[in-house]
């Protein structure tokens, strides 16, 4: 479930400089510095396995896990286990301190050399070097962990939320105060995480800082009713509510997830810490330095609600009730206003299938040369074309087949697109259009690195273009 405030839009007269820089730094760190993590970890795990350390340290790791995460289920045969052990800096310290209980004196020297090599490789990983280790907090890591991420989807989700909420908070607080509050929210997030978590790997990610930004947003707007976007399972839409009521909702939801999701790798306590610190910082600013907040920006005219978004929300509500006839009636005026809007075309396609299945083929043919067709609709049109005999195919206009061909390439269906092209190139009145389609096929084949077909279609494009030029010259 997602609920995010979207009351304000970016005002480029006062560009969110700090927000842009934060996104840029996060992306650059992930793309360049963190790109070597997988090779460092792989090297450490390979050394760990090749030196037989899993067998030597298994009893130690079980004892360590019982202390730090009693609910963790351990299976020595699990292929992921070496990766888990190597990437946990807490266990490095545990085994260094307690090795005498688990490693015999006779084997100590060889074990120590092997472990040093593992730790040397794992220490190069970004999370180990600059992530926040809950059991051994270093002041610098309270800041650096905020700019590291665990994967592409992790950074993508964080940056989307930061952009959606950060620009309004920066406009209201000012760039420098926004930057300071952002970092302090991350610090508070990390400290609360460390209070509840004793191990389990290093904390990385901007989630705590961004939770602070979301809390700042709702506290700044207080009791004012603002617009929120929500996503609940398959339902999406907008709602208006007093901003401040979302703060206890955010914290309560994270607490619920924390206690109900045993073994999750999501740092719910870090999110809670960010919410608390972000809210507290704005409350203090409102109490001690009201001039530190741009009230004119907050009190400014509310964004005019997007009528299209409101209509779609109502339409989805009716569809959710399975009242398809009413939904069809609501869709008609929207389609007349936005005839080829992809979202409306998708809804229309599904409603035709539900209400008028016998007219589905007619609908698919009608839309064949229109813009806005989604993948499901294009594939349904392809099925119709496949089941048509040669006479039926001849009844389809050049424009319909040409549009279908280009849509098929957009969805990577080359074989069917080529079959369509073979039909179209026999139509003698469209030499220039066929040349353009051949060039489109050549470009696609170049993209998929099929050089043989790329050359073929480039040649055909030239031939049809020359034929068109010759015929045009003759006509003159």
225-232/2-5 β-pairing: antiparallel
Average pLDDT rounded to a whole number, residues 6-28: 90
Confidence of residue 314 (pLDDT cuts 50, 70, 90): confident
Q: What is the DSSP letter of 30?
A: I
Tell me which residue of 180, 59, 189, 83 sits closest to 134, measured CA to CA: 189
Q: Which of 90, 188, 178, 187 is nearest to 140 (CA)?
A: 187
Q: Long-range contacts: 229-232, Cβ < 8 Å, 24+?
A: 229/2, 229/3, 229/4, 229/6, 230/1, 230/2, 230/3, 231/1, 231/2, 231/3, 232/1, 232/2
Q: Mean pLDDT throughout 270-290?
A: 93
Any residues with CB less than 8 A from the CB of 436 and at least 6 apart, and which? 461
User: CB of 457 within 8 A of CB of 442?
Assistant: yes
Residue-level pLDDT at 403: 93
**Sheet with strand 225-232: strands edge to edge:** 2-5, 225-232, 235-242
Q: Would the pLDDT of 466 be above 70?
A: yes
Is residue 263 predicted with pLDDT exceeding 70? no
Give Cα separations from 41 to 26, 61, 136, 202, 305 (angstroms): 21, 19, 21, 14, 49
pLDDT the model gives residue 258: 84
pLDDT given for residue 91 in this prediction? 87
pLDDT score of 428 more than 80: no
Q: According to the model, what pLDDT value does residue 6 have?
A: 82
Tell me the pLDDT of the chain averaged across its residues. 88
Side-chain half-sphere exposure of 124, counting CA atoms within 13 A: 16
For the chain, the structural domain boundaries read 2-34+141-299, 36-129
Structure-derived torsion over alpha carbons of residues 47, 50, 55, 59, reported in degrees to the nearest 10: 0
Q: List the one residue out of 38, 84, 79, 42 whose CA is nearest residue 62.
A: 84
H or E element: which one contains 341? none
SS3 content of the chain, % helix, strand, coil (to 5): 70, 5, 25
Give the bridge partners for 5, in sequence order.
Answer: 228
pLDDT score of 473 more than 90: no
201's CB contacts (< 8 A; 6+ apart) are 87, 88, 89, 90, 127, 131
User: Bridge-partner residues for 156, per DSSP?
Assistant: none
Least confident of 38-42, 159-163, 236-240, 404-408: 236-240
The predicted structure's pLDDT at residue 467: 83
Identify the three-state secondary structure at position 451: helix
Alpha helix ranges (H) inside 81-148: 81-86, 89-98, 105-122, 126-130, 141-144
**Contact call for residues 127 and 87 (beta carbons, < 8 A):** yes
Tens digit of pLDDT for each residue in 370-390? 988 989 999 999 999 999 998
Cα distance between residue 117 and residue 40, in whole Å: 12
| Half-sphere CA count of 192, side-chain side, radius 13 A | 21
Cα atoms found within 13 Å of the Cα of residue 441, Cβ hemisphere only: 33
Domain 2-34+141-299 is in which class?
A: mainly alpha
Q: Quick one: 324 exposed, middle or buried, by C-beta within 10 A (0-12, 13-18, 19+)?
A: middle
Average pLDDT over residues 325-329: 92
Is the pLDDT score of 200 beyond 80? Answer: no
The pTM (predicted TM-score) of the whole model is 0.61
**Which of the four pLDDT bands, split at 50, 70 and 90, describes residue 244?**
very high
Cβ neighbours of 196 (radius 10 Å): 14
Nearest Cα to Cα of residue 182 among 214, 160, 153 = 214
Q: Tell me how long the chain is.
A: 476
């Amino acid at each position: 479930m997602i609920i995010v405030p979207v009351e304000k839009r970016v005002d480029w007269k006062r560009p969110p400089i700090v927000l842009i820089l934060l996104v840029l730094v996060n992306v650059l760190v992930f793309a360049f510095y963190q790109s070597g993590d997988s090779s460092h970890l792989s090297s450490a795990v390979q050394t760990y396995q090749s030196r037989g350390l899993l067998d030597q340290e298994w009893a130690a790791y079980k004892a360590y896990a019982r202390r730090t995460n009693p609910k963790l289920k351990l299976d020595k045969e699990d292929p992921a286990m070496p990766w888990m052990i190597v990437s946990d800096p807490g266990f490095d310290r545990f085994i260094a301190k307690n090795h005498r209980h688990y490693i015999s004196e006779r084997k100590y020297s060889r074990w120590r050399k092997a472990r040093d090599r593992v730790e040397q490789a794992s220490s190069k990983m970004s999370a180990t070097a600059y992530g926040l280790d809950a059991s051994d907090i270093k002041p610098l890591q309270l800041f650096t962990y905020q700019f590291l991420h665990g994967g592409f989807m992790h950074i993508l989700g964080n940056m989307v939320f930061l952009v959606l909420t950060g620009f309004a908070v920066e406009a209201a607080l000012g760039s420098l105060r926004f930057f300071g509050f952002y970092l302090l929210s991350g610090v508070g997030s990390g400290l609360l995480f460390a209070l509840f978590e004793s191990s389990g790997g290093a904390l990385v990610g901007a989630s705590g800082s961004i939770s602070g930004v979301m809390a700042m947003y709702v506290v700044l707007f207080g009791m004012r009713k603002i617009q929120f976007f929500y996503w609940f399972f398959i339902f999406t839409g907008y709602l208006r509510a007093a901003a401040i009521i979302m703060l206890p909702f955010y914290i309560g939801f994270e607490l619920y997830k924390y206690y109900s999701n045993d073994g999750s790798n999501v740092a719910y306590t870090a999110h809670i810490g960010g919410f608390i610190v972000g809210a507290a910082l704005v409350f203090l600013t409102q109490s001690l330095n009201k001039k530190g907040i741009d009230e004119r920006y907050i009190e400014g005219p509310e964004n005019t609600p997007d009528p299209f978004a409101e209509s779609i929300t109502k339409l989805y509500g009716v569809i959710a009730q399975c009242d398809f006839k009413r939904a069809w009636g609501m869709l008609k005026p929207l389609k007349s206003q936005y005839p080829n809007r992809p979202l409306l075309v998708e809804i229309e396609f599904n409603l035709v299938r539900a209400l008028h299945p016998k007219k589905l083929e007619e609908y698919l043919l009608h839309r064949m040369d229109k813009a806005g067709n989604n993948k499901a609709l294009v594939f349904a049109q392809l099925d119709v074309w496949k089941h048509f005999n040669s006479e039926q195919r001849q009844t389809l206009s050049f424009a319909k087949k040409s549009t279908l061909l280009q849509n098929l390439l957009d969805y990577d269906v080359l074989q069917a697109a080529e079959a369509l092209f073979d039909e179209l190139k026999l139509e003698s009145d469209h030499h220039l259009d066929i040349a353009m389609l051949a060039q489109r096929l050549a470009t696609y084949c170049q993209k998929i690195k099929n050089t043989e077909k790329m050359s073929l279609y480039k040649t055909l494009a030239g031939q049809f273009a020359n034929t068109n030029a010759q015929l045009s010259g003759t006509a003159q």
